[in-house]
């Protein structure tokens, strides 16, 4: 994960970022990838400097953008930079981590489901109405389908890291790659998911 210089966007970039959000909401398959590239280092640095753990920071950064993907249709201009929205998501995930006995990304395996379509966990709050529950369910199903559409190596990496919850070291051992290669594969897989998922909102 790169650590090149950069903070939140300049005022002119801020407007452009919200344009990218609207484009992603309208099904532009490259818009979210552009947002990912623009803000991934901002989110990573925020998490890393809070937790001091590079591997955990990378996990939380990836989960931040996956969660943002699932929520992109409901976000609207908030009078602040889009980066603040991503950082707020990351902050909430960090709080979840601190509260839990051990860190676990909020995905569940579909192996326990006869239909093979177990949802991603933790997205439907008790107070959500039927419309929100239906949207959440549809988004979960779309994300699972997109994971299935990844290339073999990317899909295996995502399943091992985020579905099975294995560490970077464990995943590297299973896939017979070095950890640097797994980090790069994970990075590409999250970007690819952004491109695959966007058309499902058309």
Q: Residue 67's Cα: distance from chain center in Å?
A: 5
Q: By 3-state DSSP, what share of the chain in percent is helix, strand and coil, each rounded to 5?
A: 70, 0, 30
**What are the backbone dihedrals phi and psi of residue 137, each rounded to the nearest 5 degrees, phi first?**
-60, -45
Query: Which of 7-11, 85-89, 129-133, 184-188 is predicted with the least confidence, judged by mean pLDDT?
Result: 7-11
Percent over 70 (pLDDT), the chain? 68
Residue 3 near residue 43 (C-beta atoms within 8 A): no
Residue 123 near residue 89 (C-beta atoms within 8 A): no
**Mean pLDDT computed over every residue of the chain:** 76
Tell me: the pLDDT tens digits for 19-35?
A: 999 999 998 879 999 99
Angle made by CA atoms 29, 31, 34, in degrees to the nearest 5: 120
Percent over 90 (pLDDT), the chain? 27
Tell me: the pLDDT tens digits for 74-121?
A: 888 877 789 889 998 998 998 887 776 444 444 433 333 333 333 333
DSSP structure class, residue 72? G
């Amino acid at each position: 994960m790169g650590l090149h210089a950069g903070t939140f966007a300049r005022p002119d970039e801020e407007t452009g970022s919200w344009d990218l959000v609207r484009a992603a909401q309208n099904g532009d398959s490259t818009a979210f990838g552009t947002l990912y590239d623009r803000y991934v280092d901002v989110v990573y640095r925020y998490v890393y400097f809070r937790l001091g753990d590079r591997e955990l920071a990378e996990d939380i950064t990836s989960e931040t953008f996956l969660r943002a993907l699932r929520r992109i249709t409901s976000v609207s201009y908030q009078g602040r930079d889009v980066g603040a929205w991503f950082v707020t998501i990351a902050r909430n995930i960090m709080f979840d981590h601190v509260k839990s006995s051990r860190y676990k990304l909020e995905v569940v395996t579909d192996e326990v489901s006869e239909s093979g379509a177990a949802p991603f966990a933790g997205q439907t709050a008790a107070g959500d109405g039927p419309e929100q529950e239906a949207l959440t369910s549809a988004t979960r199903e779309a994300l699972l389908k997109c994971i299935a559409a990844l290339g073999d190596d990317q899909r295996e990496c995502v399943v091992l890291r985020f579905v099975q919850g294995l560490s970077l070291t464990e995943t590297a051992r299973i896939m017979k790659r070095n950890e640097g290669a797994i980090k790069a594969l994970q990075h590409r897989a999250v970007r690819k998911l952004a491109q695959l998922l966007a058309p499902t909102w058309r």
